Amino acid sequence: MITTALRCGMGRMGVARAAPLRAGVVRSISLSAPRLTEANIASALAEADGEPALPLGRVLDESLSFEPAQRPAQRPIYLDAQATSPVDPRVLDKMMPYFINQYGNPHSRTHAYGWETEAAVDEARAHIAKLIHADPKEIIFTSGATESNNMAVKGVAKFYQSKKNHIITTQTEHKCVLDSCRALQEQGFEVTYLPVDEQGHVSVEDVKNALRPTTSVVSIMTVNNEIGVIQPIREIGELLKTYGADLAKELGRGTPKPFFHTDAAQAVGKIPLDVDACGIDLLSISSHKLYGPKGIGAIYVRRRPRVRMEPLMSGGGQERGLRSGTLATPIVVGFGEAARIAAQDMASDHAHISRLSKRLRDNIMSRVEMVLLNGDANGYPGCTNMTFQYIEGESLLMALNDICLSSGSACTSASLEPSYVLRALGLDDANAHSSLRFGIGRFTTEAEIDFVCEKIVQVVHRLRELSPLWEMVQEGIDLKTIEWSG
């Protein structure tokens, strides 16, 4: 028996919606935290109302120490599910034997150790394929969605470059797709970056107008990682099978249609996906976005009609010759188990996350004015992006140090530039800098959402009291009419 002790100090597991445990898994939770009484809170607010404006550093200190309600955990509350998700305990329990006992190389065909791990890999591949309605032979394991995206965009473009040198994508794709396209541009390829509307949707008509006979691949994300908008994937896939195929015939008989790639890292396991129904030829997945281990992902590559691509790596010819290298059986098995659980729990997960997302939005937006909801309100509910106008974004994040949030993609979090996704929606730099992404997941609880709402409301009101811009807006001054010196 394997006993795995997991300390989940954020209060997600085992509180309101604990995942069922496999035998032998033990989880301990610490929920103790200091609590302010209502009298203390009222007293603190009364004192604040009578004080003159304080230096920003002191206000942040006060905001950080202020506890609007009993915290549901000692560690920071985690609301960054788009960056990564915790490994589901059921997944970890499934993985453990392949670290300790069943450790054979799945490519060793001459003994039992290889056979048993090969069987485990095949089982995992089947679970992942089933999640997107694909054939297991069409699933190629990679290190994650970044590698899968690079394989899809660069691999297809380079294989067909003698006849086709045009690529279509959108301005709001993940950075690895945009950087792959820019790298191809430096090699002589032509790339069209399509705009999106104010909710983040790409227009199917824009895709149609951008298509050429020489278009080799169209790469459009299914669910955006910053704003949760769901793109019209099925309509785009149908367009490429009809109009795109007709255009390709101009280059001669046998020329394939433009291949359709989608980065589905934020979609797989969260919303239903069917690669055949949507006309998808290549699809990228990342395990750690759906409660599996980090360091493993996959790319779906259609076999009929066949998608041909140039491998990024050479080696022993594993994974249909498209991604050589020994598979890491434990994390492959974990990935497969995460996919199995996602298929099983998708409906209940979505209902849970939708309810918490509505609770978050309604609570904050009913109590704080001038808050913008970025993206489509009917997009994926686990990714909620809000702009708190007339607040400096860094101050807001600093004051929320007991909540794990982000202002954009984790892959660009080191940059001081405002989110290019939000700017593509039409937000100016000030509003883009004042935005927060709330990532709600399987193990998020109501208690955490309520605490976050109280803290957000308190901090926003306090920071706005210090903002001269907020004071001017309250006085009815149009900031756009002011000529700033400097």
- In this predicted model, what pLDDT tens digit does every residue of 250-260 receive, in sequence order? 999 889 999 99
Highest averaged pLDDT of the listed ranges 73-77, 162-166, 415-419, 431-435: 162-166
CATH number of 33-87+345-481: 3.90.1150.10
Q: Where are the domains of the chain?
A: 33-87+345-481, 90-341
* Mean pLDDT, residues 84-104: 97
Q: How far apart are CA 194 and CA 352, in angstroms?
A: 34
* Contact residues for 212 (Cβ-Cβ < 8 A; gap 6+): 166, 247
CA atoms 194, 198, 204, 206: torsion sign: negative
Mean pLDDT lowest among 67-81, 207-221, 383-397: 67-81
453 counts as catalytic: no
Query: Under a CB-based contact definition with an 8 Å cutoff, are residues 428 and 357 in contact?
Result: no
- CA separation, residue 178 to residues 148, 160, 175, 181 (Å): 13, 19, 5, 5
Mean pLDDT lowest among 2-16, 132-146, 434-448: 2-16
* Mean pLDDT, residues 204-230: 98
Say if residue 7's pLDDT is above 60: no
Which listed residue (176, 383, 404, 411) is catalytic? 411
The pTM score is 0.84
Say if residue 280's pLDDT is above 60: yes
* Mean pLDDT, residues 439-457: 97
Q: How far apart are CA 195 and CA 167, in angstroms?
A: 15
Strands (E), 245-367: 259-263, 282-286, 297-301
Nearest CA to 290 out of 336, 259, 256 is that of: 336
For residue 469, what pLDDT is reported?
A: 78
Mean pLDDT lowest among 228-237, 281-290, 364-373, 470-479: 470-479
pLDDT higher for 365 or 318?
365
Say if residue 408's pLDDT is above 70: no
Q: In the predicted model, what is the mean pLDDT of the chain? A: 86
* Mean pLDDT, residues 147-175: 97
Say if residue 377's pLDDT is above 90: yes
Q: Specify the DSSP class assigned to residue 75.
A: S
Q: In what order do the strands lie in the sheet with 297-301?
A: 139-142, 297-301, 282-286, 259-263, 215-219, 166-170, 190-194
For residue 466, what pLDDT is reported?
A: 84
For residue 6, what pLDDT is reported?
A: 34
Collapsed DSSP state (helix, strand, coil) of residue 217: strand
Q: Specify the DSSP class assigned to residue 80.
A: B
Q: How confident is the model at residue 421 (pLDDT cuts 50, 70, 90)?
A: very high
Mean pLDDT lowest among 2-16, 41-55, 171-185, 223-237: 2-16
For residue 9, what pLDDT is reported?
A: 35
Output the six-digit token pair for 279. Answer: 């006309």
* Mean pLDDT, residues 356-374: 97
Say if residue 33's pLDDT is above 50: no
Mean pLDDT lowest among 3-12, 43-52, 135-144: 3-12
Say if residue 483's pLDDT is above 90: no
Say if residue 356's pLDDT is above 70: yes
Q: Indicate the fold that domain 90-341 takes in CATH.
A: Aspartate Aminotransferase; domain 2 (3.40.640)
Say if residue 376's pLDDT is above 60: yes
DSSP-derived pairing of the beta strands 383-388 and 371-374? antiparallel
pLDDT higher for 8 or 409?
409
Beta bridge partners of 259: 217
For residue 182, what pLDDT is reported?
A: 98
Nearest CA to 419 out of 232, 184, 193, 200 is that of: 200
